[in-house]
Structure 1
Amino acid sequence: MSLWTAAEIATATGGTASTDFAVTGVAFDSREVGPRDLFVAMKGEASDGHRFLDQAFAQGAAGAIVSEPTAHPHVLVADSFVALQHLGRASRARSSARIIGVTGSVGKTSAKEALFACLDRATPGDVHRSVKSYNNHTGVPLSLARMPAAARFGVFEMGMNHAGELAELTQLVRPHIAMITAIAPAHTAFFADESAIADAKGEIFAGLEPGGTAIIPYDSPHRDRLIGHATPHAHRIVTFGLEKGADVRAIETMPVSTGGTFVTAVLGTRELSFTIAQPGMHWVSNALGVLACVDAAGGDLGLAGLALAELGGMQGRGVRFMAGEMLVIDESYNANPASMRATLAVLANEPGRHVAVLGEMRELGERSDAYHADLAEPILAARVEAALLVGEAMAPLAAALEGRIDIVHVADTAAALSSLRTILAPGDAVLVKGSNGVGLSRLVASLAGGNL
């Protein structure tokens, strides 16, 4: 079945179709184009998608959205980026799916994937979600445009690093349920303080559909602030967390031999016991928020619990693998002070010698030095014996750890690759985490390929 026809694309975007065609997918990165896809050729500061039209059609594209004439099947528009937004809006307008929007300083991609798994367990093939971390001004409309008209549920991740960005994205998604995973120091270079981050995240509630539900972290020090943002827009507010008073809360947690956690939770007057495959108390919190969303969406809680028990780690976000005789925990996609602490706490429970490969945390502003130095205590609490610190911003942490554990501080990932060979030993448990721009995923790939 087609996702869009040329006529539907032209109507949605106000463009002109060169010929009839039908597509089954949408992409704006020519490298991701597959058979029968729609390629959206956008002009950016560094590149112009129109230069890759031949490549996109060689890879099987059935049509394109363009702002310049081409011999390939296309819909001609004035601005391809604006057209993508219009296509996303048209997708949302034609959908009768129950829509869930997810944001937060940490855990939003993991929560989105967990939500997808929980809902898909009950209605396989009928759940759509944004892929990767497509959560910005281009990723969100793309994810919407990819949603099949017959989908029963849609799960969309929304991110921001400036005030006002979520206000725009939530008006595109128009969720029935909006969840904030947690508020933590992230992108603090662009915000006065953590309260300002909470205000920016609270913008998600302004897009709630009438009768919508707001899902809020009860344990957050910004809980009341978030409730204040939700109250004018939400018909119902549901809190989740570990503390007594949360609407959805864990009343018992117990580690299991596989590394996850067995949880008994209450949802109002109901009680549910389930296992979370992923280790760490941050995952317990994530799971409670996910269950609150599933319940608000009318999903099957029992099947959701089974899905959480089977949920594997994601590349760059907790996937585990053996590199020879070493355990590698890949958290290389992103990092902020809260997520660093959470994953170090996970490392603390692993057998063997603990090695932490930590890349600098970016966009932290004037408090960057303090945030980095403050990681010393969580590192020591995790019984890390050797730390490889990557990036200039790691200098304060290197100073804080000097003489307390073995440390190597290097400028970049290339230098880290060389240094790591002298640090690792069989039986080590190795955590790799840092901001995506540091490029520690290359180091993880070398470990996975046995190239160290």
Structure 2
Amino acid sequence: MMTLWTASEIARATGGRATCEAQVDGISIDTRSIAKGDLFVALTAARDGHDFVRQALDQGAGAALVSRIPDGCSEADPLVIVEDVLEGLQNLGRAGRARAKAKVIAVTGSVGKTSTKEMLREVLKGQGKTHAAEASFNNHWGVPITLARLPADADFAVIEIGMNHPGEIAPLAKMARPHVAMITTVAAAHLEAFDDISGIAREKATIFEGLETGGACIVPLGLEVSDILLEAARVAGEVITFGADAQADYHLDKVSILGDTTVVEARARGESLLFKVQSPGRHFASNALGVIAACGALGCEQALIAMDLGRWLPPAGRGARERVLFDAFNPEMGIDLFDDAFNANPTSMGVALEMLAAQEPQDGVGRVKHGRRVAILGEMLELGADELSMHAGLARLPAMADVDVVHMVGNRMAALRDALPRAKRGEWYESADEMVARARHLVDAGDVVLVKGSKGSKVSRVVEALRKLGQPVSTEV
């Protein structure tokens, strides 16, 4: 394995002092997942990372980034001592970006950041050595870790940038210095911290402030706030648009959901384009078209990128589909489960329910005999003063007409329960743990089941409970 950093290089990048020379192959902030040769970064959050430095070194860490010599350690240990560990990590990220030859794509958006980042990882690895953020490393420590992990010889890097409050995106974008910056969409998310969706759009648009000279801005058209995004993009660099709007450079003509597959007919700068994504959902189609636009800005072959999109599958908790068999000897006795339990806002709820509405349950195999489209929805968090009306508004979504039953978790979801027709009202519980105990009563063989909610609703625990009802079988192809 190629050495990522030496202790002396880290010291120079961070303005710190190395107690001795050492080599590291990776970056870690968690002793539970640290690998041999990692640099352990002693961040202070819920716990002080300095309390775990000795443990990290004993587990094989190559060195540690600290602001003092921790208990149990000495000058003989491989330490890089800085004034502030988070600032040191951010400086190391900047140094990682500065030495890299990679073309960098940065992605933000209210919905679809992680899925789009993973699409980009999948298609760009066919074009060259590609580095991308792990999981959702998109905040003030996640972005610098991703940049610090960036191999100097990578051809491409994909950086996910998120936010909860105003002023978070621009510093991370300036750290990443992307050649291409993409906004997937803007929706009602984190409204507790913003006056309205226009404020969210202005914050998202600050990603363009970090754009390298001559770079490209990938902007969704057809949103009520698209003009805000376009105004910021035009100042920063070349503007490339995508979406269902007829004026978009990359225009969605038709989206067809066929079982597990989304088939997309589009026009890319006037040329016809047909491709598919091996997962159902209009949002996946839109994000994939944005990916094609972003890769085109890097000079990648459009047809090859479109073809490679067919290999992509959503990450766990982001809409991945699996088969849960109740009877190992009868493949019909089971459910199709869509795990989309990582995040939720009104827009992403709408597209997930649209996907569920397009599925075909199987009749005649379960207790109910009639296969159902079942939605298990956890509450949506950080929506601000109108959160209850937004929850109740889900009942009015067109796709809800084709959903047979809705089970709900969380106090805010009581507003949806009261707004639903009685025939669609399933079970409601204040907590996910209460619903977990009822898991086997929520579904039946032949059902297609969507589980979606904000991470804080803990509805992912219901996903795990449903998996335990049988033997999960991947539907990947």
The two structures have a TM-score, normalised by structure 2, of 0.91
Are the structure 2 counterparts of residues 380 and 345 from structure 1 closer, same or farther at C-alpha, using a change threshold of 3 Å?
A: closer
* Equivalent position of 2:61 in the other structure: 61
Percent identity over the alignment is: 43
Are the structure 2 counterparts of residues 451 and 74 from structure 1 closer, same or farther at C-alpha, using a change threshold of 3 Å?
A: farther
**Structure 1: how far apart are the matches of 2:43 and 2:271?**
50
Checking the alignment, whether the CA contact within 8 Å between 2:391 and 2:415 is kept in structure 1 is yes
The answer on 1:323 being equivalent to 2:328 is no
The answer on 1:251 being equivalent to 2:256 is no
SS of the residue corresponding to residue 294 of structure 2 reads: helix
The residue correspondences of 1:370-385 to structure 2 (distance < 5 A) are: 370-378=389-397, 381=400, 383-385=402-404
Out of 130, 140, 143, the residue aligned to residue 140 of structure 1 is 143
* Equivalent position of 1:113 in the other structure: 118
The residue correspondences of 1:21-420 to structure 2 (distance < 5 A) are: 21-44=22-45, 46-69=46-69, 70-71=73-74, 72-123=77-128, 126-234=129-237, 236-256=238-258, 258-324=259-325, 325-352=334-361, 353-378=372-397, 381=400, 383-420=402-439
SS of the residue corresponding to residue 21 of structure 2 reads: coil
Checking the alignment, whether the CA contact within 8 Å between 2:439 and 2:466 is kept in structure 1 is no
* Equivalent position of 1:435 in the other structure: 454
* Equivalent position of 1:422 in the other structure: 441
Which string of whole-angstrom CA distances, capped at 9 and with x for unpartnered residues, describes residues 219-244 of structure 1?
Answer: 2121111111112111x100001221
How far residue 386 of structure 1 moved from its aligned partner, in angstroms, is 2.1
Which string of whole-angstrom CA distances, capped at 9 and with x for unpartnered residues, describes residues 373-430 of structure 1?
Answer: 0001238635222221101111111110152313211011110112232221111111
Checking the alignment, whether the CA contact within 8 Å between 1:347 and 1:382 is kept in structure 2 is no
Which string of whole-angstrom CA distances, capped at 9 and with x for unpartnered residues, describes residues 36-73 of structure 1?
Answer: 111101122x2011111233223321111011213331
Checking the alignment, whether the CA contact within 8 Å between 2:104 and 2:177 is kept in structure 1 is yes
Which string of whole-angstrom CA distances, capped at 9 and with x for unpartnered residues, describes residues 65-101 of structure 1?
Answer: 0112133311111111110000001011111211111
Q: Between Structure 1 and Structure 2, how many residues are aligned?
A: 447
Checking the alignment, whether the CA contact within 8 Å between 2:13 and 2:91 is kept in structure 1 is yes
Bigger shift: residues 371-380 or 337-346: 371-380
**Structure 2: how far apart are the matches of 1:424 and 1:139?**
37
SS of the residue corresponding to residue 397 of structure 2 reads: helix
Checking the alignment, whether the CA contact within 8 Å between 2:440 and 2:469 is kept in structure 1 is no
SS of the residue corresponding to residue 32 of structure 1 reads: coil
Checking the alignment, whether the CA contact within 8 Å between 1:116 and 1:127 is kept in structure 2 is yes
**Structure 1: how far apart are the matches of 2:166 and 2:434?**
36
Aligned AA (1:327): D
**Structure 1: how far apart are the matches of 2:26 and 2:88?**
16
Aligned AA (1:248): Y
Aligned alpha-carbon RMSD (Å): 1.6
Checking the alignment, whether the CA contact within 8 Å between 2:350 and 2:399 is kept in structure 1 is no
**Structure 2: how far apart are the matches of 1:374 and 1:429?**
23
Runs (4 or more) in structure 1 with deviation over 4 Å come to: none
Aligned AA (1:56): A
Which string of whole-angstrom CA distances, capped at 9 and with x for unpartnered residues, describes residues 117-159 of structure 1?
Answer: 1111222xx1111111110111111111110011111110001
Which string of whole-angstrom CA distances, capped at 9 and with x for unpartnered residues, describes residues 20-43 of structure 1?
Answer: 111111011222211111110112
What runs of 5+ residues in structure 1 fail to find an aligned partner?
A: none
Aligned AA (1:358): L
Checking the alignment, whether the CA contact within 8 Å between 2:93 and 2:147 is kept in structure 1 is yes
